[in-house]
Structure 1
Amino acid sequence: MRIGAGAGFAGDRIEPAIELVEQGNLDFLVFECLAERTIALAQNARRSDPDGGFDPMLLERMRRVLPAARARGVRIVTNAGAANPLGAAHAVAALARSIGLGPMRIAAVLGDDVLDTIRSEAFPLIDREGTSADLPPIISANAYLGAGSIAEGLAGGADIVITGRVGDPALFVGPLINAFGWSLDDPELMGRATMIGHLLECAGQLTGGYFADAGHKQVPDLARLGFPLAEVSADASAIFSKVQGSGGRLSLASCKEQLLYEILDPGAYHQADVVADFRSVRLAEVGTDRIAASGGGGTARPDALKVSIGYDDGFIGEGQISYAGPGAVDRARLAIAVVRERLALIGANIDELRCDLIGVDAVDRTGLGPPPREVRVRVCGRAACEKDAACIGAEVEALYTNGPFGGGGATRSVRPVVAVASTLIPRERVRPHLVMVEG
């Protein structure tokens, strides 16, 4: 079975996915589009538009990919349903009709939204002290579902499966279960399948995108980066590759980096379907841009599911301005001192304030090297009140004529903060289910 990674985040390029569908001889294409905060932001968007709340790029992805996918029998799985998988399914069905693609079955996976459960009691947080009851106003709470409902939708004849929050590897595990008839109760197969999904889930990271480092890790033709696919066998071994002639490089090194990406413990990678063990995974180069992966395993699925809780956390105000020429750094530091004093004088209630010189100390705090001849001031602060947050950008902009000479290119912004906390809830309190939409 051949399965491709068509996206690794919500804003990913669409062209590599089209290339995979047209030239990759795929059975399945997966769009992975949700980060930890993405679904909370989507829930926030749904407040003003009850029919929205899914990935804004979903319909454009489908418009450009579906004709080739339908012509070649490629089925699609995506978590771009975000806060509204059912709404997304209806929107995709309407799009398919509008471009003349004929009858289509779309499965929406529901049940990850556990907001009422989280609001009903205090759940201990796993990334900080306290409980869910201690958080500011909660916007969303979504449990990480597994692959079962995805496989069920495909078994029911779905051409497209659209989910909300699921574990990223589960997007790939579901099609593998469907293709090979694997049991969710087989931890060894689920662990190996999770390894395959984990290697694919970030798309261009595996083929050199996030791997590239000028002068150290050379990756050819990054502007035409190709996304990866896997040829998977019934024993859950796989060969990873990309479309011949596409940009990037799929190597042992890029695969090793991705295998260890974000997993904490390689012997106990907790997912909804399995606690995966990657310690026995073996990688081997079997050709140019072709890496074979085998091994791995796992133990029984955990009794609890992780939940991402999105909550309102005030506002961030920001202002930026640039200085150049002799003494640029000194003038920029004077500008920061002026803004700090002004915020105190006007009584702006700022909870956190961060002042950086981009190009000097915004990232690199070592202080090594000669001072640059141009530098950009960035002042950011968090406030409970939008009006207080707005004072930051206003004071930075006022530096045009009320601060050191030569300031230019000032910008200002205020944005609401959607923060994320995590907890665990018992598996039995989450009830995933399917709704089929006929397109």
Structure 2
Amino acid sequence: MAVRIGVGAGFAGDRIDPARDLAERGELDYLVFECLAERTLAYGHLQREQDPARGYNPLIEKRLAAVLKACVSNGTTIVTNMGVANPRAAGRVAVELARRMGLRIRVAVVEGDDVSAQISGSTLLPEIGKTVDESGLRLVGANAYLGAEAILPALDAEPHLVITGRVADPSLFLAPLMHRYGWKPDDWPILGAGTVVGHLLECSTQVTGGYFADPPYKVVPNLAYVGFPFAEVEADGRAVISKLAGSGGCVTELTVKEQLLYEVHNPAAYLTPDVSADFSTTGVVEQAPDRVAVSGATGRPRPEKLKTIVGFDGGFLAEAEFSYAGPGAVERARLASAIVEERMRTIHRCSETIRLDLIGVNALHATAIQRVAQTQDVRLRAAMRTLDREMAQTLLAEVESLWVAGPAGGGGYRGSINASVTTHAVYVDRDSIGLKVEVLQS
């Protein structure tokens, strides 16, 4: 009988109601919440610095509260990387939640991805060609991308919930398939096939019409209620991607093909901690409405080293906005932009990079596309990353001063200063990872 594996989230801020629907009606064996990106992880380290009891996904309690009862009742195992920078604390939150809900559950916590102790001042950051010390950045944490093998011992404990830190996105889906079918960690073709399934599911609604929609060329029905996907996976790696009847969105040959190539630089060598997956041989066939069969993917030996994300304190991100409307709005906004730039450089001696955009004219393309704007409604946005909070506050003050000291007809000021992070990738040896699985019970 095929394994049914569904998606509870595709990023940290994903919707919750489609996960509840899938947990209640999906008849799933596994429900996977993929909620971790590079910056999400770095922010987790900053939060844990401020409070050792934090550092996990702040929505973990809300997400689990929506699905836990149904998953326990239906025999669905939850797998998630919502542990972020503090999986053990996340496990305690899950156990306490289960107690309040009157549920008895086992939570397997997977640790070992945190390799901060292996990063030193002499560690080279290849992306910028400098060592950590030379970068001048303050390290907040480093985490290796673990693979499916890290989750297998946790699944052996027959838990209701597995919580990890940084595990590669498709590996969260591959691990349950390896566990259920007994796939070997060096059976590269089958691991490649399983990785394709994980890759298709990991971004939740992107394979059911989200991000795909582009009217009038690509019309997606009932997108406001787009459903999360699930896969029916056979022991030989063949799978069918689908969604719940009555949910919005669609699963078609095109949605699957677009997601198959999403963030893939080389379809013949998609590198994960588990395998070098080859998507180039994948067949995609639409069997029925919202049922697309996927087969034929393969794989080759996995990379020797594990990619590791090193997070740094990026200081403060200052953002301020101001609007201009009516005839000449673009010209007035450009004058306002020049005023802010001049005062920040000349009067305040600011040497930081300041991003000045006209939203509605060139905010996304910046200087890549130059054209005469016809708009009568434009918003100036000024942004700067700095380690100096006072300088960040100065940028906000200069934009706000445009109320009376700038061009005519401006208004709608908003400003904010938020914590910022930056990340860089390095590579560590596999044998330097020390895995640990701890089982907690409610």
TM over 0.5: same fold?
yes
Which residue of the partner structure matches residue 201 of structure 2?
A: 200
Contact 2:396 / 2:415 at 8 angstroms: preserved in 1?
yes
Which residue of the partner structure matches residue 125 of structure 2?
A: 125
TM-fit CA distance, 1:369: 5.9
Which residue of the partner structure matches residue 189 of structure 2?
A: 188
Encode CA deviations 1:103-151: one digit per residue, 9 max, x unaligned. Answer: 21100110000001112x6333343322344331100100000111312
Secondary structure at 2:58 match in 1: coil
Counterpart Cα distance in 2 of 1:50 and 1:338: 44
TM-fit CA distance, 1:405: 1.7
Secondary structure at 2:6 match in 1: strand
Which residue of the partner structure matches residue 66 of structure 2?
A: 64
Contact 2:330 / 2:373 at 8 angstroms: preserved in 1?
no
Secondary structure at 1:16 match in 2: helix
Which residue of the partner structure matches residue 175 of structure 2?
A: 174
Counterpart Cα distance in 1 of 2:183 and 2:133: 40
Counterpart Cα distance in 1 of 2:269 and 2:431: 22
Decide which of 386, 392, 395 is 1:392's aligned counterpart.
395
**Given residue 225 of structure 2, which amino acid in structure 1 is its aligned partner?**
R
CA change 1:34–1:192 in 2 (3 A) is: same
Which residue of the partner structure matches residue 358 of structure 1?
A: 359
Secondary structure at 2:119 match in 1: helix
Contact 1:360 / 1:367 at 8 angstroms: preserved in 2?
no
**Given residue 401 of structure 2, which amino acid in structure 1 is its aligned partner?**
A
Encode CA deviations 1:406-428: one digit per residue, 9 max, x unaligned. Answer: 11110112223200000001111
Matches within 5 A, 1:206-245: 206-245=207-246
1:19 partnered with 2:21:
yes
Percent identical among aligned pairs is 46
Which residue of the partner structure matches residue 428 of structure 1?
A: 431
When the two structures are aligned, how many residues end up with a matched partner? 437
Which residue of the partner structure matches residue 373 of structure 1?
A: 376
TM-fit CA distance, 1:346: 2.5
Secondary structure at 1:37 match in 2: helix
Which residue of the partner structure matches residue 309 of structure 2?
A: 308
Which residue of the partner structure matches residue 86 of structure 2?
A: 84
Encode CA deviations 1:57-108: one digit per residue, 9 max, x unaligned. Answer: 000001111111111111100000000111101110010001111x211001
Counterpart Cα distance in 2 of 1:108 and 1:239: 30
TM-fit CA distance, 1:155: 1.5
Secondary structure at 1:265 match in 2: coil
CA change 1:164–1:174 in 2 (3 A) is: same
Contact 1:84 / 1:164 at 8 angstroms: preserved in 2?
yes
CA change 1:208–1:360 in 2 (3 A) is: same
Contact 1:10 / 1:32 at 8 angstroms: preserved in 2?
yes
Which residue of the partner structure matches residue 413 of structure 1?
A: 416
Counterpart Cα distance in 1 of 2:140 and 2:344: 30
Matches within 5 A, 1:326-341: 326-341=327-342
TM-fit CA distance, 1:318: 2.0
Contact 1:27 / 1:75 at 8 angstroms: preserved in 2?
yes
Contact 1:350 / 1:382 at 8 angstroms: preserved in 2?
no
Secondary structure at 2:308 match in 1: strand
**Given residue 400 of structure 2, which amino acid in structure 1 is its aligned partner?**
E
TM-fit CA distance, 1:302: 1.6
Matches within 5 A, 1:34-53: 34-53=36-55
Counterpart Cα distance in 1 of 2:305 and 2:346: 51
Secondary structure at 1:184 match in 2: coil
Which residue of the partner structure matches residue 386 of structure 2?
A: 383
Contact 1:24 / 1:243 at 8 angstroms: preserved in 2?
yes
Decide which of 98, 101, 115 is 1:99's aligned counterpart.
101
Counterpart Cα distance in 2 of 1:254 and 1:430: 37
Counterpart Cα distance in 1 of 2:132 and 2:29: 42
**Given residue 302 of structure 2, which amino acid in structure 1 is its aligned partner?**
R
Counterpart Cα distance in 1 of 2:288 and 2:364: 39
Contact 2:322 / 2:381 at 8 angstroms: preserved in 1?
yes
Contact 1:106 / 1:162 at 8 angstroms: preserved in 2?
yes
Compare 321-330 and 160-169 and name the one that shifted more. Answer: 321-330
Counterpart Cα distance in 2 of 1:428 and 1:235: 30
TM-fit CA distance, 1:314: 3.0
Compare 138-147 and 262-271 and name the one that shifted more. Answer: 262-271
CA change 1:3–1:127 in 2 (3 A) is: same
TM-fit CA distance, 1:370: 4.4
Counterpart Cα distance in 2 of 1:146 and 1:45: 25
**Given residue 401 of structure 1, which amino acid in structure 2 is its aligned partner?**
V
Which residue of the partner structure matches residue 275 of structure 1?
A: 276
Counterpart Cα distance in 2 of 1:208 and 1:219: 6
**Given residue 91 of structure 1, which amino acid in structure 2 is its aligned partner?**
V
TM-fit CA distance, 1:42: 0.5
Secondary structure at 2:108 match in 1: strand
Counterpart Cα distance in 2 of 1:195 and 1:35: 19
Compare 26-35 and 184-193 and name the one that shifted more. Answer: 184-193
Counterpart Cα distance in 2 of 1:436 and 1:276: 32
- After superposition, the CA RMSD in angstroms is 1.3
Counterpart Cα distance in 1 of 2:124 and 2:192: 28
Secondary structure at 1:56 match in 2: coil
Which residue of the partner structure matches residue 298 of structure 1?
A: 299
TM-fit CA distance, 1:372: 0.7
Contact 1:349 / 1:383 at 8 angstroms: preserved in 2?
no
Counterpart Cα distance in 1 of 2:231 and 2:433: 31
**Given residue 48 of structure 2, which amino acid in structure 1 is its aligned partner?**
R
Matches within 5 A, 1:157-172: 157-172=158-173
